[in-house]
Amino acid sequence: MEEESKSLPPKDNFSEWYNELLMMAQVMDVRYPIKGIYVWYPFGFSIRKKVYNMLRALMDVDHQECYFPMLIPKPELLKESEHIKGFEDEVYWVTHGGLSPLEIPLALRPTSETAIYPMYKLWIRSHADLPLKLYQIVNTFRYETKQTRPLIRLREITSFKEAHTAHATWEDAEKQVHEAMDLYSDFFTKLSVPFVINKRPDWDKFPGADYTMAFDTLMPNGRSLQIGTVHHLGTKFAKTYDITYEDDKGERQYVNQTCYGISERCIAAVIGIHGDNKGLVLPPNAAPTQVVIIPIVFKSGGEEVLDVCRKVKAILNDSGITAVLDDTNERPGAKYYKWEMKGVPFRIEIGPRDIKNNAVMLVRRDGVKQSIPMDGLSQTVQNKLMDFQAELLKKASDFMWSRIKDCATLDEAKAQIESGWARMSWCGEKACGLEMENVTGGKLLGEPKGMTGSGTCPVCGKPSDKVVLVAKSY
Amino acid sequence: MEEESKSLPPKDNFSEWYNELLMMAQVMDVRYPIKGIYVWYPFGFSIRKKVYNMLRALMDVDHQECYFPMLIPKPELLKESEHIKGFEDEVYWVTHGGLSPLEIPLALRPTSETAIYPMYKLWIRSHADLPLKLYQIVNTFRYETKQTRPLIRLREITSFKEAHTAHATWEDAEKQVHEAMDLYSDFFTKLSVPFVINKRPDWDKFPGADYTMAFDTLMPNGRSLQIGTVHHLGTKFAKTYDITYEDDKGERQYVNQTCYGISERCIAAVIGIHGDNKGLVLPPNAAPTQVVIIPIVFKSGGEEVLDVCRKVKAILNDSGITAVLDDTNERPGAKYYKWEMKGVPFRIEIGPRDIKNNAVMLVRRDGVKQSIPMDGLSQTVQNKLMDFQAELLKKASDFMWSRIKDCATLDEAKAQIESGWARMSWCGEKACGLEMENVTGGKLLGEPKGMTGSGTCPVCGKPSDKVVLVAKSY
């Protein structure tokens, strides 16, 4: 495929850097002729595959994968009035089949509650059917009118992992909310993506939910990015779609439900947070290729070097490390450029001198360079991959926490959200929350899990131990 | 989930048997409120996963997976006039985003040539970019007006694997057609699904193709089912979408293309061909669970039996066999019923007498029963799974070939296609082919690969060594 000859803009110019990088590293092609709709290049898709296989493995422990239809009949979508209000401006409508108008317009799923819950009504009969924990990974659609961005704000979300559970009681569903938060925490940690879990304010919860817990991370430009949500639905949808079970006294009860989702924004976070001026930096868990081996060949001795390279590749592959050998005719410098752009965590260079020393030269994607003995190579590389993974998380985490600032006034917060999260006391009143948003121009992300304070609400002055994060948000 | 209390209709009543089985075995739920659109139950989806992972593994040898958008702008879809004629009656149109009409209507992809090839124009520059071999597994949509059937004729095809390749010359593309046929042959053989490859007549080839090779199998009711197609596209689409490469003389040449696809019909074939009056019969390669272990527990000694069951499960799992232990409280008979319905290839029963004999009782899904010594158990089971797989293929293959009959007259053919394929000589003229279809009420599947004859065309009486298959077709 085509080579790009442009150079990557510096990361300080984040938006431009991000868009160019996706093209240059061949993650997404942004030239598809519909606004907000993009193409996954094969390389980008291989990252997607790796990341989603990891997510699947976590889900499969106690969820079952399934598939519900993409088209939703208008009457089903409209049944839950609060829910539809949240989506009605954003739904794509199919109105024609061939040249004939359809009797009932069909919505492209913006999310699948209204496709799934009519089936849950049929599937759930008794206490023995609960809990029911299903998930699917599907394409969903939003007619976005805001500015679109690849992987972040899309009209076709190609990779929406949505889980839908049903339980006997509100408390059981609450327990599931916690399990889902643990699962997502595990997932993002494996991706080296730091996060804060915020309880969204009531006016910004998922349409139809009792409450919403959201995973937010911070992009390098100081903008907040929602990367996952977990919703307690209570009996709201169960009442609308008549989903009941027979309890042990033989009485019909409404189920309590949760749903939780993650989209390709998880990949946007990995790319945005870890990348640098040379291109992608992939944490080993998200890297389709973890190690690239590059032969350093001079005038003679090429075959011997290649033999050692092949041997090293085999040793690494055998121990479960995905290693490839780049034995093309390009200059080493061109190879370095190409593989750095694609974010391969480690490069191993092998030349005659390394062979003489019974060693290889290992270069981490962040430039750290070290000679490694051949003895115990795969174990050493494995350990170093784990170290690199952990260091990326620590670095990103340090950055994120350094950008949380306690602000006593709205003016202070307004300045802070240009580069990070403003933490403020909040009395809990909606009016004060909205005033925070109005004055700062930011968004109230909600109450961060595990954080409290002792201050006064900067709007009304009431003392409170509640704190909220406010940010400029994608 | 709910238990069905109905019993399965006999397989002789094929249509009813098929529909009921999909529900009773929890493969597809047909109660979704749109005609021709169905829900994959978790169990059905686990078959889908197993089968498509096998397909992916075959494709990944020398194709790359990617993802192109589901929505196609009307002008792109209309560019290739022959192509669109084949689909215009079947395309779903999105005309509104939220409450606003869209400026340009968007089609739900019926297949992805018109989404992919505008990108190929951008991606392919030089000889070095060729061959390009990409594939995706996606949902596609057809506004079917004929009778719909789960997995067979759908309005949302949830699992369309479509490959799209580009080559320097017509001959290179022709070679790819052969490689694709080999790959698909391998795939269907692994599924124990027999087939004939037919070269479709010109009037029934893929819209826009130079020619179409189709994989057809025979369902037990004598109906033909197309389960895969491979198309040589020549330079037709390359000319429409201006896809060119620079050859080694520095001149721009149009690429030659192929595309080939397989949908969830491959699963319909497995279910329809192998199932019986008790339910599904899954070939081991397609079975999410290959062996179910059922403890036969009497008044005492239950713990010992369960211990042995767990040990057997571990032994089998360790050798790569997917075995589960059903230690629920149901009666063994109820367990047999349930697992037979789900088509698990082997049941292993373990009771006190088996333990005394240092053996287990192995019952194949077709009823063949045999005591197997514990020594070398996993190897024995592995061998017997392969035998079972091969026997299913042989049985299905024998059935299919027994239903091909050479017919000298159209009347004979008309009678034959009530239960199978009629093979006739054909002069090659379209008029004669259409007359065959008119008189028999069947469809001319085309010239079967590797078959010739020496007869006379039953319509015009001309001698010919060409033969064609005619059938009633799904």
Q: B257: which 2 tokens?
A: 């293309």
Number of CB pairs, chain A paired with chain B, less than 8 A apart: 169
Name the burial class of residue A280, with classes exposed (0-12), middle (13-18) and buried (19+) by CB atoms within 10 angstroms of its CB: buried
Q: CA–CA separation, A71 vs B158, rounded Å?
A: 11
pLDDT band at A5 (very low <50, low <70, confident <90, very high): low
Q: CA–CA separation, B172 vs A31, rounded Å?
A: 29
Q: How many other CB atoms sit within 10 Å of the CB of residue A311?
A: 14
Q: In the predicted model, what is the mean pLDDT of chain B? A: 96
Q: Is the pLDDT of residue A88 over 90?
A: no
Q: How many other CB atoms sit within 10 Å of the CB of residue A232?
A: 23
| Cβ atoms of residues A342 and A286 within 8 Å | no
CA dihedral B181, B186, B191, B192 (to 10 degrees): 100
Strand, coil or helix: A208: coil
Q: CA–CA separation, B421 vs B226, rounded Å?
A: 13
Q: CA–CA separation, A145 vs B114, rounded Å?
A: 25
Q: Which residues of B18-56 are buried (b: 16+ CB within 10 A; e: fewer)?
A: bebbbbbbbbbbeebebebbbbbbbbbbbbbebbbebbe
Q: Which of B153, B263, B225 is nearest to B420 (CA)?
A: B225
Q: CA–CA separation, A408 vs A438, rounded Å?
A: 16
Q: Which amino acid is at A310?
A: R
Residue of A nearest to B39 (CA): A68
Strand, coil or helix: A400: helix
User: Which chain B residues contact residue A117 at CB under 8 A?
Assistant: none
Which of A51, A71, A129 would best serve as a mutation to test chain B binding (most B beta carbons within 10 A)?
A71
Within 79-98 of B, beta carbons closer than 8 Å to A belong to 88-98
**Using CA of residue B107, residue B108, residue B113, residue B117, what is the dihedral sign?**
positive
pLDDT of amino acid B423: 97
**Using CA of residue A21, residue A26, residue A31, residue A37, what is the dihedral sign?**
negative
| Cβ atoms of residues B288 and B47 within 8 Å | yes
* CB–CB contact B67 A39 (8 Å): yes
Q: Is the pLDDT of residue A143 over 80?
A: yes
Please indicate if any CB of chain B lies within 8 Å of the CB of A324.
Answer: no
CATH 3.40.50.800 holds for B289-384: yes
CA A175 to chain CA centroid, Å, is 23
Residue B184 C-alpha, separation from nearest chain A C-alpha, in angstroms: 22
Question: A14-274, which class in CATH?
Answer: alpha beta
pLDDT band at B302 (very low <50, low <70, confident <90, very high): confident
Q: Residue A441 half-sphere exposure, CB side, CA atoms within 13 Å?
A: 8
pLDDT band at B88 (very low <50, low <70, confident <90, very high): confident
CA A354 to chain CA centroid, Å, is 40
Listed in sequence order, the residues at least 6 apart from A455 whose beta carbon sits closer than 8 Å to its beta carbon are A406, A408, A424, A425, A463, A464, A467
Q: CA–CA separation, B355 vs B131, rounded Å?
A: 59
* CB–CB contact A92 B96 (8 Å): yes
Q: CA–CA separation, B119 vs B76, rounded Å?
A: 11
Across the strands, what pairs with B348?
A: B293, B362
Q: In the predicted model, what is the mean pLDDT of chain A? A: 96
Q: Where are the domains of chain A?
A: 14-274, 289-386, 404-471
pLDDT of amino acid A202: 96
Q: What is the CA radius of gyration of chain B?
A: 25
What is the percent of chain B where pLDDT is above 90?
93
Please indicate if any CB of chain A lies within 8 Å of the CB of B127.
Answer: no
Structurally, at CATH architecture level, domain A289-386 sits in 3-Layer(aba) Sandwich (3.40)
Q: Which of B343, B359, B470 is nearest to B404 (CA)?
A: B470
Across the strands, what pairs with A162?
A: A136, A261
ipTM of the complex: 0.95
What is the mean predicted confidence (pLDDT) over A144-162? 96
Of B29, B45, B89, Cβ closest to residue A119: B29
What is the mean predicted confidence (pLDDT) over B387-404? 98
Structurally, at CATH architecture level, domain B404-471 sits in 2-Layer Sandwich (3.30)
CA B166 to chain CA centroid, Å, is 24
* CB–CB contact B125 A2 (8 Å): yes
pLDDT in tens, A209-245: 999 999 999 999 999 999 999 999 999 999 999 999 9
Q: B425: which 2 tokens?
A: 């000589």
Q: What is the CA radius of gyration of chain A?
A: 25
User: Which chain A residues contact residue B49 at CB under 8 A?
Assistant: 65
User: Which chain B residues contact residue A44 at CB under 8 A?
Assistant: 66
DSSP letters of B249-267? TS-EEE-EEEEEEE-THHH
pLDDT of amino acid B297: 86
* CB–CB contact A2 B123 (8 Å): yes
DSSP run (H or E) holding B16: helix B14-24
pLDDT of amino acid B421: 98
Planar angle of CA B343, B348, B353, nearest 5 degrees = 150
User: In Å, what is the CA distance from B244 to each residue of B50, B80, B209?
Assistant: 38, 16, 18
Residue A329 C-alpha, separation from nearest chain B C-alpha, in angstroms: 13
Q: CA–CA separation, B455 vs B463, rounded Å?
A: 6
Q: CA–CA separation, A466 vs B283, rounded Å?
A: 59
What is the mean predicted confidence (pLDDT) over A117-138? 97
pLDDT in tens, B230-246: 999 999 999 999 999 99
Q: CA–CA separation, A35 vs A32, rounded Å?
A: 8
Q: A204: which 2 tokens?
A: 């910004």
Q: Which of B164, B102, B160 is nearest to A70 (CA)?
A: B160
What is the mean predicted confidence (pLDDT) over B439-453? 96
| Cβ atoms of residues B360 and B312 within 8 Å | yes
| Cβ atoms of residues A34 and B106 within 8 Å | yes
pLDDT of amino acid B5: 58
pLDDT, greater one: B179 or A5: B179
pLDDT of amino acid A351: 95
Q: Which of A244, A246, A257 is nearest to A113 (CA)?
A: A257
Please indicate if any CB of chain B lies within 8 Å of the CB of A70.
Answer: yes
User: In Å, what is the CA distance from B311 to each residue of A211, A442, B306, B383?
Assistant: 46, 60, 9, 20
Q: Is the pLDDT of residue B4 over 60?
A: no
Asked if B289-384 and B404-471 have one fold, the answer is: no
* CB–CB contact B42 A65 (8 Å): yes
* CB–CB contact B156 A69 (8 Å): yes
What is the mean predicted confidence (pLDDT) over A175-199? 98
* CB–CB contact A1 B46 (8 Å): no
Return the minimum-mean-pLDDT range out of A17-26, A60-69, A188-197, B5-14: B5-14
pLDDT in tens, A449-472: 999 888 999 999 999 999 999 999
